[in-house]
Chains A and B, each alone.
Chain A
Amino acid sequence: MAQSTRQPQATAIARAESPPADRSGLKNALMIVGIIAILLILWEGAKWFAAINNYAIALGPLHIDLTLLNNTQLPHLADIIASLSEPAQRNGPPLWQMLLESVAFTFYSAFLGFVIGGIFGFALAVLFAHVSSLQRGMMPFVVASQTVPILAIAPMIVVWMGRVGDVTLAVPLIAAYLTFFPVTIYTLRGLTSMPPTALELMETYAATTREIFFKLRLPNALPHIFTALKLASTASIVGAIIGELPSGIQSGLGIAILNFSRYYNQSPSRLWASILVAGLAGILFFSLIALIERLVVRWRPVESK
């Protein structure tokens, strides 16, 4: 009797396990391609609509200025792509090569900041999880640290690092400043939010604090930590780009964006190309973390957000 009831369960489980993952991957890919196609159509469609109306339309008494959509304000997508192969400076390398060097430099700072901020944020969460008085006392400052604009903090870090010895450390530290916060918040939640019985079970084994940490709190926190790291990955790139602006360093995506924005009226497509590259770098970093998450967190029925 037991055997006959167990068999269908086993097959039901086997069925639930296998194929849907692959198909949802394909579905996602199609979705992304579709969204990109729609954005391209909207972009070029708006420009085309503005052009045939001579960049102004009248809606009854309302006159709407559409010069925003002309070629010097919003370049054609083809022009943005084309600008990548033209030299960024006279007799210089083509723009794509220059942007590739910039993004590599910035990505390195971002990654360094991501690691520093990740370790610091994690350590803070572990401390808070075990010493609740420290959590109550310090959490307001942690929150306050993120309400201060990074544009105000960044120059200070540059000056301090200059005094201490190495200005090149300033950019990773600014990236770390933006990174540690989500890691602390999510890790803390992961380390402490579990059913009370999960902790009671450990008590019945007379487990030590150390065993509870490694066998319960840490694995329980892993999905939360990956959510934090995905947020932190994009934040670290923003931090690195912004950090380059006051740093006095002459390379990096932030510097490229700053330079191209000065010459926006002559050549808007170069700034758009830099933005495109910055976005791609963020997507790449995010996807990398999501991939690692998928390899590590295997006990979930469906993919987490």
Chain B
Amino acid sequence: MTPVISISNLNKTFRAQDGTVVNALDDINLEVEQGEFVSLIGPSGCGKSTLLRVIADLIQPTSGTVLVNGKPAEQARKDRDYGFVFQSATLYDWRTVIKNVQLPLEIMKYPKAERDRRAREMLDLVELTEFEDKYPFQLSGGMQQRVSIARALAFQPGILLMDEPFGALDEMTRERMNNELLRIWANLKNMTVIFVTHSITEAVYLSSRVVVMTPRPGRIFELIDVSLPRPRGSGTRDMDDYFRLTSRVRHALRGTTPAANDAPVRNEAIE
């Protein structure tokens, strides 16, 4: 089976304002299989968002190839193979909640009845049915982001690209959104998710694989498989494996490896 996303020898350089060349992405190679939940994590400036935008064909790479569903990224974008969720919800202020969810369906020329049906289904999925006639300014930040997820899923793309979607939310809301995202992902069988984050716990909690990136130049430092059992829930965060994995990601981000006897240490008192 061909991978859903296949990136080889990808480079991206920017010319900064002062004329210096910035190596945003340096020889990136990555393959993502169908149904995987892959997080890209790294400090700011490591190129994780740039990588996501290259996959989405919102940015052109300097060299290298990006295949999405076996096609060049541009063709995949034109075929509407993916849904994109931005860090800010990016709802259109002048559209009600349901009209925002219907936006891609309008552009893709779905008949009216189908638009209504799908938008309602998606709002049901993100549990915002009773808010369908509200305007975005009447919603909280977390609710706005849920609408934006519903919008990205409305046309049933096989791939969901998410650029720090919960980065602006408080910790409590973020954890709730993590659970909702996992629930949605479990409902939509075989959907591939690429998730950019700078939160170690979020990356480990959600992913089947974590891609650790380092800055200047933006490189993949390590790929870490997360084999925590699913479905995940509040119990997951208490597992020893969870601590072991977050510690491993943390070390990878520092460019060190955990020592062999570096057993997971919990800060709280042990029951």
Footprint of B on A, CB under 8 Å? 2, 5-6, 9-10, 13, 16-17, 195, 197-198, 200-207, 211, 215-216, 219-220, 222, 297-301
A13 touches B134 (CB 8 A): yes
CA distance A300 to B80 in the complex (A): 31
A197 touches B86 (CB 8 A): yes
A204 touches B82 (CB 8 A): yes
Question: A205 with B104: in contact, given A9-B143, A13-B138 (CB under 8 Å)?
Answer: yes
Within 8 A of A (CB), among B112-163: 127, 130-131, 134-140, 143
Closest chain B residue, CB of each to CB of A1: B176
Closest chain A residue, CB of each to CB of B106: A215
Interface size on B, residues (CB 8 A): 33
A205 touches B93 (CB 8 A): no
Interface: B107 (CB within 8 A): yes
Closest chain A residue, CB of each to CB of B96: A299
B176 touches A2 (CB 8 A): yes
6 example contacts (A-B, Cβ-Cβ < 8 A) are as follows A198-B92, A200-B86, A206-B78, A215-B107, A299-B137, A300-B137
Closest chain B residue, CB of each to CB of A200: B58
Contact among A5, A205, A299, A300 with B107 in the assembled complex (CB-CB below 8 Å): A205
B134 touches A203 (CB 8 A): no
Interface 1/0 per residue, B61-92 and A, CB below 8 Å: 00000000000000001101011101010101
The residues of A that contact B139 with a CB separation of less than 8 Å are: 13
Closest-CB distance, A106 to chain B (whole angstroms): 35
B80 touches A299 (CB 8 A): no
CA distance A16 to B88 in the complex (A): 23
Closest chain A residue, CB of each to CB of B89: A197
The residues of A that contact B135 with a CB separation of less than 8 Å are: 298-299
Contact among B88, B107, B136 with A211 in the assembled complex (CB-CB below 8 Å): B107
Question: A201 with B108: in contact, given A2-B127, A9-B143, A300-B137 (CB under 8 Å)?
Answer: no
Most chain A CB within a 10 A radius of its CB, from B103, B127, B135, B176: B103
CA distance A219 to B136 in the complex (A): 15
A299 touches B93 (CB 8 A): yes
A201 touches B137 (CB 8 A): no
Closest chain B residue, CB of each to CB of A17: B138
Question: A197 with B103: in contact, given A17-B138, A299-B93, A299-B135 (CB under 8 Å)?
Answer: no
CA distance A18 to B53 in the complex (A): 42
Closest chain A residue, CB of each to CB of B130: A10
The residues of B that contact A17 with a CB separation of less than 8 Å are: 138
CA distance A204 to B77 in the complex (A): 6
